[in-house]
Chain A
Amino acid sequence: MKILENLTKINRRYIFLLVALAVIFPLVIPMKLPTIPGKYTIKLYDFIDQIPPQSQPILIAADYSPSMMPELQPMLEAVIRHCFAKGIRIVVLTLDPNGAVLSETALQKIAPEYGAVNGRDYAFLGFKPGSSIVMMSIGENFRQAFPTDFYGTPLDSLPMMNGIRNYADVPLVLSIAGSAITQGWINYAHTRYHANVGAGCTAVSTADYYPFLQAGQLVGLLNGMKGASEYEYLNKKNGYSSAAPVATKGMNAVSIVHLLLMLFIILGNIGYLVTRHNQSKK
């Protein structure tokens, strides 16, 4: 019984060590855990998949900083791969000052894989401060918030921006964010300007977006590392990408850490219940 009581007193250093091992092992030793795409990942994937090639571009807002990069960067890369493979044009911008380098890096890495050309297949607008104001400005005209792209080229000089004025000319606004900024896109781009909005968020903030999903204000949702791995799986299944599945590898580590966490909670509760039972006896 003393052993069971001691279950409440495991030194946190051992917990840290086990968590570290639970993260490292699945990343080093490949595991083949199944990926079953969720309903909202499939909805977003299908929505993008049904956009005709070379039609109006989709707008991707990569509003996150490096702290959320492990979850959100694979998501952005998977979506870009899907679009380039299908010939869907994209406009990428960011409302987070740290997001510019991250999204530009993703574009520069993936564009050569598909032979995508800046200005023809994609446009990178960079960062602009004043999030909600920028969202409202785009509702009037892209050029109001972004007269030029990130490299200083006027938007009117980019062939793919011909005839693209505001939200009415983009079939989807996809907000990939690690903060509540997605709610801004819902409030302004969807509610005020009636744009279709999709989202990708960190796992901890997923629950915040369920009300918007149920109300039809979001066309789909990518839920953290899980959503990114599901998108990678769908890309691979449809032959759109042969890139290494970064999120799928990460999801293996997340799964093992979840199991470890549950094990610790069970142990802690066994110890707590035994201690309480013993105390009530006394």
Chain B
Amino acid sequence: MKRQIPLIIVLTLGIFFFIQFFVPSQVSTNIYQITLQWTIVISAFAIVLAVGSLFNHHMLKIKRRKPHWWNSIVTLAALVVMALLGILGRWRGLEKLGDLYHTLFLYVQAPMDSAMFAILAFYMASAAYRAFRARSQEAALLLISGFIVMLGVIPFGSMIWSRIPDIAEWILMVPNMAAKRGILFGVGLGMTATSLKIILGIERSWLGGGGK
């Protein structure tokens, strides 16, 4: 029953909402609207699960004194402090806590997050220097087109030759797009096939147990 009930729910609702899309009657629209509200509520529980899972993971690390366990204390402290400031700061009379939340977010979290992303530029420069080699005809072609696109998106491209941005756009709009469309079609068909397999109960890995 533990597996059959979820399968029945998915089969029934999957077929119902497929038909509902093509039958815009008042009854079906009302059911659709109620379901959307329910789904938003269920989505919110994903955050509760995520916080619970994060908490368990780090508590275990602290309890077992795993390497760098003190980092887990910082993570949990940050989680609790930010959550409390965020929640309490919305109450009347406690606006100062909300301001503190804003300050911590903008001057601690935002710079740290941005710095992590910015470090990518350094690794990309180093990796491009090491790996972007004209080892074959195909690699040389990729190298040249990459060069043109890079030049085309910066002002120096048009300063060297006014047509470079146009050529860069052609590369993005024609050869790149042909490949991209193929991939998107593949993804779309894959999604449709997987959805059908889930609705019909052929694909059951979402129930847990790795599809056994």
State the CA gap A203–B149 with chains docked (Å).
Answer: 12
Main secondary structure of the interface of B (DSSP, over half): helix
User: A159 in the interface, Cβ–Cβ < 8 Å?
Assistant: no
Distance between B195 CB and nearest chain A CB, rounded to angstroms: 13
B180 touches A19 (CB 8 A): no
Contacts of A67 in B (CB 8 A): 113-114, 116-117
State the CA gap A102–B113 with chains docked (Å).
Answer: 13
Distance between B168 CB and nearest chain A CB, rounded to angstroms: 10
State the CA gap A268–B117 with chains docked (Å).
Answer: 25
Q: Return the chain A residue nearest B140 by Cβ.
A: A269
User: A243 in the interface, Cβ–Cβ < 8 Å?
Assistant: no
State the CA gap A12–B116 with chains docked (Å).
Answer: 18
Contacts of A144 in B (CB 8 A): 33, 36-37
User: A170 in the interface, Cβ–Cβ < 8 Å?
Assistant: no
B110 touches A66 (CB 8 A): yes
Q: Mark B146-183, 1 if CB is under 8 A from A, else 0.
A: 01001101111011000001000100110011001100
Segment at the B interface, from A31-39, A41-49, A76-84, A111-119: A31-39
User: B206 in the interface, Cβ–Cβ < 8 Å?
Assistant: no
Q: Return the chain A residue nearest B135 by Cβ.
A: A272
B155 touches A258 (CB 8 A): no
User: B47 in the interface, Cβ–Cβ < 8 Å?
Assistant: yes
Contacts of A34 in B (CB 8 A): 155, 158-159
Q: Mark A135-166, 1 if CB is under 8 A from B, else 0.
A: 01100110011000000100000000000000
Known: A19-B125, A70-B118, A265-B147. A137 touches B36 (CB 8 A): yes
State the CA gap A38–B169 with chains docked (Å).
Answer: 10
Chain A interface extent, by class: 35 or more
State the CA gap A207–B105 with chains docked (Å).
Answer: 31
Contact of B114 among A66, A101, A265, A269 (CB under 8 A): A66
Chain B interface extent, by class: 35 or more
Contacts of A257 in B (CB 8 A): 121, 125
Contact of A130 among B43, B128, B134 (CB under 8 A): B43
B172 touches A210 (CB 8 A): yes
User: B5 in the interface, Cβ–Cβ < 8 Å?
Assistant: no
User: A264 in the interface, Cβ–Cβ < 8 Å?
Assistant: yes
Distance between B170 CB and nearest chain A CB, rounded to angstroms: 11
Contacts of B151 in A (CB 8 A): 258, 262
Known: A15-B126, A258-B153, A258-B154. A210 touches B159 (CB 8 A): no
State the CA gap A36–B152 with chains docked (Å).
Answer: 11
Closest 5 CB pairs of A and B: A130-B43, A66-B113, A66-B110, A264-B129, A67-B117
Interchain residue pairs with CB less than 8 A apart (12): A34-B158, A98-B113, A130-B46, A133-B36, A207-B180, A259-B156, A261-B128, A262-B147, A269-B132, A269-B134, A269-B143, A272-B134
Chain B interface (Cβ within 8 Å of chain A)?
29, 32-33, 36-37, 39-40, 42-44, 46-47, 90, 102, 105-106, 109-114, 116-118, 121-122, 124-126, 128-130, 132-135, 143, 147, 150-151, 153-156, 158-159, 165, 169, 172-173, 176-177, 180-181, 184
